[in-house]
A and B are shown apart, each in its own frame.
Chain A
Amino acid sequence: MSLDDVLILNAVSKAYGGRASMIEKAFGRRPKGLQAVREVSFTIRKGEVMGLVGESGCGKSTIARMAAGLLAPTGGEIGRNAAMREQMIFQDPFSSLNPRWRVRDIVAEPIRTHRLRPKKAIDERVAELLRQVGLSPEDGAKFPQAFSGGQRQRISIARALAGEPDFLILDEPTSALDVSVQAQILDLLRGFQAELHLTSLFITHNLPVVRLMADRIGVVYLGELVELAPTETIFHRPRHPYTRLLIDAAPDLDATDRSLHPIPGDLPDPSDPPSGCVFRTRCPFANERCAAERPELRTVETGQVRCHYDLDLSQRAAA
């Protein structure tokens, strides 16, 4: 682990519900678990924002929770500095703040836990943080219920900044907000990013948002990391067919071209993934090899891709 590496995931896997029941044990059967994350590897370097995108249920939150140390992987290993301070911002602005705590205590918690300020300076620091996220110090005396979803996300951000984290994990921080409030939160986060050079993992299913926020992007499909590359490479020269289709699926603001580009087919049952390449059931380029052989994660130029072929996907596929 080099000095600049904040977090290393090495072939990390997570299976849910793998414990055998009494009956299964009696019959010597292995339980059918759900492989939520399979052999995911990446490294987050100091000062960078790494993005993760993918459809609902592909395992993004599971990866985030393992990165945060909230969940133990069932395979592979996670390397992190033991003394590292982490913070996390969650999607649901309603469940992520303790309803029985006053805002000032919520924001002060990381400061007190890590003894980041002398006792007397804590109030001052909390007031400063509240101002920085666009709230007023008087708001500190209120309970979270008094705030809207957007304001609650601001409180979450204040709490995260209060911990002066070496590593910040954001799991869909704006997915529950409308466009206008989302823009305010993204603005705020970008401001802090520029100012504090935070190292972070930014998770979302919204491609324009991750393009705005991340330096590098990992694309996840059915628990596998299928592509990983610098942000502009992902958008200009994607190498995995899934990345291409995902980019095309999001409706842009162009009202002259009204075509829609849904990804063909349905998401397979995650407890029964396809053989070989997980994406082959929906891939326009799939052939027998894809069904038979699981592609390796190959390094290509600045990125990595899990596909047998070198496809030119820089243009949107003709519908």
Chain B
Amino acid sequence: MRGLAEAFRGRPGPIVAATLIVLLVVYAFVLPLVTADPFSMSGMSILDAFSPPIWMDGGQATMPFGADDQGRNLITAMAYGLRTSIMVGAISVVIGLVIGGALGLVAGFVGGRTDAIIMRLADVQLAYPALLLAMVIDGIATAILGRGRSNEMAIAIVIVSIGIAFWVQYARTIRSSVMVERDQDYVAAARVTGRSNTAILIQHILPNVMAPVLVIATINLGIAIITEATLSFLGIGIPPTYPSLGSLIRNGNNFLQSGEWWISVFPCLLLVALVVAVNVLGDHLRDHFNPKIRGRT
């Protein structure tokens, strides 16, 4: 954390990105607290269906971005959707991080056959695009659990599928850092002192291998959000009856031809803004913590 303030000094791009992310998060988590869920009966009013954005003829002050086919106020719907997207993205990244992190730690520290098995598994998985993999996992889960599932179940499956699809990168990064750290003398000193392998791994090595992984996690957050949106857009992720940026875009897509462009374009722009901001931030952190670009001490 000490380096964080320094990491941003004199860099307008990352500062704008970080500010935008904060604003979006506030938007996504505060607005739903004070408005009714547009995806419940009380939250939509069919009379307002297809209401255009405020600056167009027939636009209403209460619906600055217009409303969709069910009369959902887009500014509220997008906040709900954004909230889902951010949560799905963040939780799936954490799942990937925990799975990949644990496997990477063990592979790098134990080495030998364990390492070989874990890394071959990673190689196999890498041969499939993450999106495809998430689709397959989602499909398998649906086959096992049946179609008649609740929204919560669907979301959980999406989260887990995306999480699993991304563990490899974390595992590989952590593994290579662990292999560097485990040969450092401070690890040997802890061994001579009589610390157990688990203690050494968790207390000594883990804090030293986190920085690069957290950077990857930031970058992956953008990818996870896109993946969720894509899955939902394809209709295999979050059901259209539940708000997410992907489901909003998918729904709006039906009306693109008939002139109600705002229903899909605004969620799209929001998605782009979020993902670009996350990526700018991630890239910046990566450069900042890259030992090849910057000395480690």
Using a CB–CB cutoff of 8 Å, the interface residues on chain A facing chain B are 65, 68-70, 85-88, 90, 92, 94-101, 109-110, 113-114, 145, 156, 159, 163, 169
Contact = CB atoms under 8 A, between A and B. Distances in A.
Given A98-B208, A100-B207, A88 B195 contact: no
B193 A87 contact: yes
Given A98-B208, A99-B208, A145-B297, A68 B186 contact: no
B191 A70 contact: yes
Contact of B193 (A90, A97, A163): A163
B195 A96 contact: no
B195 A109 contact: yes
13 contacts: A69-B192, A70-B192, A85-B194, A86-B192, A90-B188, A95-B184, A95-B186, A96-B189, A98-B186, A99-B297, A109-B193, A113-B193, A113-B194
Nearest to A144: B186
Contact of B192 (A88, A97, A98, A100): A88
B4 to A, nearest CB: 15
B190 interface: yes
A85 B192 CA distance: 8
Given A98-B204, A98-B208, A100-B208, A109 B184 contact: no
Given A70-B191, A159-B189, 15 more contacts: A69-B191, A70-B188, A85-B194, A86-B192, A87-B189, A88-B188, A88-B192, A90-B185, A96-B188, A101-B207, A109-B193, A113-B194, A114-B193, A114-B194, A156-B189
Interface of B: 184-186, 188-195, 204, 207-208, 297
B185 A96 contact: yes
Q: Is the interface of A mostly helix, strand, loop or mixed?
A: loop
B189 A90 contact: yes
Contacts of B194: 85, 110, 113-114
A101 B206 CA distance: 12
B208 A113 contact: no
Contacts of B190: 98, 109
A69 B192 CA distance: 7
B188 A92 contact: no
Contacts of B189: 87-88, 90, 96, 156, 159
Nearest to A163: B193
A113 B192 contact: no
A68 B188 CA distance: 9
Contacts of B204: 98, 101
A109 to B, nearest CB: 6
